[in-house]
Amino acid sequence: MKHILLGAFSLMIILTACNNKTKESSTSKDYEDAIKTHRNHYLQDFIQDERAPLDSTDLPDVHFFDADETYVVECIFTEASDKKPFAMATYSGITKPYQVYGYLVCPIKGQEIKLELYQNQLMASVPAYADHLFLPFKDLTNGEESYGGGRYIDVKASSLKYGKMKIDFNKAYNPWCAYSDGYNCPIPPIANHLDIIITSGESKYTGSKKNRPQ
């Protein structure tokens, strides 16, 4: 009788483990599908936007790191007490008016990182973009596995819940300056230069850099 009970208990443990593994795999597959859809829309935007530096023939040279759900992190948000506008430098030499909207503390791969979150002052006055926040950053993949000038993440102010904000580094993308000159791409401020490797989001463009007509 004892052997029968022990066998049944062992079988229950194995089945539970299998069910959990299946559930985890299903969740992972759902996320991978969501990121694939997100990236397909991202690529289509190049074709549909007349201002974009790339066309359909360039898209095979746009690459991404594999989707990794561990790079979806819940960050602690602190609103900036002083939101005075400042001039954010761009790679074209001009500046753009931004303000520090708040600060993020995020856990990534067992490390804690701190980031500044920005709001474009011109876009903030346009109803369609009033919810838009800007998260530019650099990390140790720049120049090797990703664009040397850093990457961007778009964030919605409305995603802030109970002092926390979820950031998905799988949605990090290259500025248009990665593909062509002639664009006013903000340079990530030094506060967002990270001393870690983030193998997530868009990786290095392998096509030839273009010259945008002035």
Per-residue pLDDT of the chain (214 residues; tens, 9 = 90+): 444 434 444 434 434 444 444 333 345 899 999 999 999 999 999 999 999 999 999 999 999 999 999 999 999 999 999 888 999 999 999 999 999 999 999 999 999 999 999 999 998 889 989 999 999 999 999 999 999 999 999 999 999 999 999 999 999 999 999 999 999 999 999 999 999 999 999 999 999 999 876 5
Which residue has tokens 């979820």? Answer: 166
Cα atoms in the 13 Å half-sphere on the side-chain side of 98: 24
Measured CA to CA, the distance from residue 96 to residue 178 in angstroms comes to 19
What's the maximum distance between 2 C-alpha atoms anywhere in the chain? 85
Would the CA dihedral through 133, 136, 137, 143 be positive or negative? positive
- Count of helix runs (H) and strand runs (E) in the chain: 2, 9
Sketch the domain layout of the chain as residue ranges.
63-209
